[in-house]
Amino acid sequence: MPSVDFDATDEQLYAELPEPLTLPPSELLSHYEPNILAPLVRCSKLPFRHLVSLYETQITHTPMILAEEFSRAQIARISDFSTSSCERGLYWMNPSLNSNSNKKVKQVIRLNHPEDDRKNDTNDLITYYKGNYQNRIPSTPIKPNKNSELIRGNLIAQFASPNSKSLIDACELISPFVDGIDLNCGCPQRWAYNEGIGCALLRKPELVREMIRSVRDRMGWGWSVSIKIRIDPDQKQTETLIRNALQAGISYLSIHGRTRHQPSTDPVNLEGIKFAVETVNGQVPCTGNGDIWTYEDVINMREKTGVTGVMAARGLLANPALFSNYSSTPSHVVSQFISLSTSYGLIFPLFHRHLAYMLENNFTKNEKVWFNCLSSSSAAIDWLENRGLDWRSGKGGMWDGRRSRGVLTI
C-alpha cells in the first residue's frame, strides 16, 4: 500500500493528486474494466449522466440522437444534447489482468478541431475533448493501492442514422464536446425499424461498413467510432455484421444479448454475447449489455462472456449506485440527483420519472399512486422532504467537490 500522510488534510491530499490519464474509450476498455451507462431513450440526459459518474460509472452515453435532425436543425441540437465541463468523473482504476501492464499508455489531448489536422497514425491515442479537471475529484484523495491510476471518464454520443451523410455531419458538430460516437444498430422499436435506423441496420452490414468508414474519413482514425448491436437469431448474420464493422475500423463493439424481437422480460443470452466476442477475436474491445441489476451480475457478465466493459440500462435507472456495489438506491443518491437536476435544470417529466424509478421499491402501493399524481418538481421535493429526505444538508460531499454551473449546448 502507498504511504499516506495521516496529518494532511483532504484539501492538501487533493491538491497533490497527479494529472489524470485521458484515454480514448478503446484504450480505457483495453487496459481497464470500466462500467458503462447505456444510451437510454430520453433518460440519459446530463443530470443523470453526472449522477451515475459519481458512483463508479466511467463511461456514459447520451440518449439515442437522430442524426438527420441533429445535423440540420439548431433546435434539435439544443433539445438533444447538453454537457458541462465536469460531468466526466475521475476514478482510481487498476489495469485489468488481461492488459499488458508493461505498456505505457500515452496521453494525447487534441486541442484543435479534427478538420484542422487529420492524423492517420493509429499509435496516437487521441481525444478531442479537453476538460477542466479542477471541477471533479475522485471519491478519495488516497491511492487505493500501488497499481491504481487516476483515469478520466468518457462521454459518448450515440447516433441513429439511415445514411452516412447525416451521420458524419452530426459527428463533426458534436466532436468538440465528446470522446467519441456510437452508431445505434440495435433499437428494436417499430418506428425506428421503419425509418431504417436501429435494428434495421443489423442485416445491412455493407451500409454499416460504409457509415463507419465515412466517419473515419471525415474525422480521422484517432476518433472513436463504435457500434451497439443486438444479437441475431442467425449467428451468421451477427458474424457478417461484426466482420464488416471490423474491416471498416470500429474502435470497440457493444453487444446487447437479445434479438430485436425479444422483450426485456426475456433473459439475456450470455452465450450470444460470448459468440460475438469470440467473433471479434481480440481485434477490438467489447462491452456487454443486458440484465445488469446487481454487482454480481457485473462480475458474471465479464466472467461468462469475455467482455471488458459492462453496460447497464434499467439497472442504473433503478439504482444509480449499482456499480458502487449498493444493493438499492441509497438516500444520498436521491439527494445528489435533486441537487444536480435543480442546478442543471431538468424538465419535470424526466425528473419525476427518474425519482419514480429510484424509489419504486421504497413506496407502498398508495404512495406510488400519490407520487404519480404530483405535477411539479417542487411538489415532488416537498413530498419527499415530508417523508424525511433531508436533501439540502445531505447533498454535501461529492457534489460540493464538483460544482459546475457552466452547461454547454451546441
Q: At what angle do helices 205-219 and 235-248 cross, to 10 degrees?
A: 20
For 33, 50, 91, the CA distances from 59, given in Å and listed in that order, are 11, 11, 11
- The alpha carbon dihedral of 224, 226, 287, 191 has a sign of positive
Residue 52's H or E segment, with its range, is: helix 46-53
For 183, 251, 299, the CA distances from 228, given in Å and listed in that order, are 6, 11, 21
Q: Which three cell numbers stand for residue 173?
A: 458538430
Residue 300 CA to its chain's centroid (Å): 20
The DSSP result for 119-178, as a single string, is ---TTS-EES----GGG---S-SS-SSTT-EEEE-EEEEEEE-SSHHHHHHHHHHHGGGS
The whole-angstrom separation of Cα 336 and Cα 392 is 9
Catalytic residue among 187, 199, 286, 373: 187
Strand partners, 230: 256
Residue 35's H or E segment, with its range, is: strand 35-37
Q: Which three cell numbers stand for residue 219?
A: 474525422
The whole-angstrom separation of Cα 179 and Cα 32 is 17
Active site residue 187: yes
Contact 150, 89 (CB under 8 A): no
Which positions are catalytic?
187
